[in-house]
Amino acid sequence: MTYHRSIRVEFNHCDPAGIVFYPRYFEMMNSVIENFFRDVAGRTFGQMMTSRTGVPTAAVETVFHAPSRLDDLLDWRLSVTRLGRTSVGIALQAHGDGQHRLTSSLTLVHINESVRPQSWPQDVRDRIAAFMETA
């Protein structure tokens, strides 16, 4: 199953040449992940902060296929590639105007207030599992 979220490229995302400055893609990726947790996993980042838990990124690998420009509408696609006891593998892709713009692979770790890995709550784990890629 794939989670979708559209993000329009805004002026604040762009460098002086009018293309997305690469760190802004990481902000967009974080936005897609934050909305995935709210919409799918049933936990907002605010709720996690209140309960002193979180899902920091432990690893990220990104390939930039084509530039994105001001006003482009990017279709972000998120799928779960792996679900461990305390971590989750995420695949993200961004497409716009029929072009593949970006591919990223991330590992997020569910942590407790001591910043130590913590098992997923069962309800969250079940919701995330529904978005596992199928072969």
Cβ atoms 127, 42 nearer than 8 A:
yes
How many domains, in total, are found in the chain? 1
Rounded Cα distance, 100 and 106, in Å:
18
Residue 72 domain boundaries: 3-129
For 2-21, what is each residue's pLDDT tens digit? 999 999 999 999 999 999 99
Residue 99 counted as domain residue: yes
Residue 134 counted as domain residue: no
Residue 108 counted as domain residue: yes
Please list the alpha-helical segments (H only) found in the chain: 22-36, 45-50, 122-129
Residue 111 counted as domain residue: yes
For 43-83, what is each residue's pLDDT tens digit? 999 999 999 999 999 999 999 999 999 999 999 999 999 99
How large a percentage of the chain has pLDDT more than 70?
98
- Which residues does 48 contact at the CB level (< 8 Å), separation at least 6? 37, 54, 55
